[in-house]
Amino acid sequence: MCILVNGAIECTGYDDSTAMIYKTLNECERDAEYRFYGLTAVFSQYNQPYERIEIGCEEIKEDS
């Protein structure tokens, strides 16, 4: 997550997930879409401008 602080962009990794492991990519993307619209609704409610929000799924490959 990057925010503008005193004219400078400061970025930090942000993960508020519950470490849910999905069986399919579709299930994960469905929840990612839900989280995206939930977050943008909160930003709109508090009149917080934003340029870009990326929320998505990360595939974890297990070593066999």
Report if pTM > 0.75: no
pLDDT exceeds 60 at position 59: yes
Give the span between the Cα atoms of 21 and 42, in whole angstroms.
Answer: 26
pLDDT band (50, 70, 90) for residue 35? confident
**Is the four-CA dihedral 23, 15, 53, 44 of positive or negative sign?**
positive
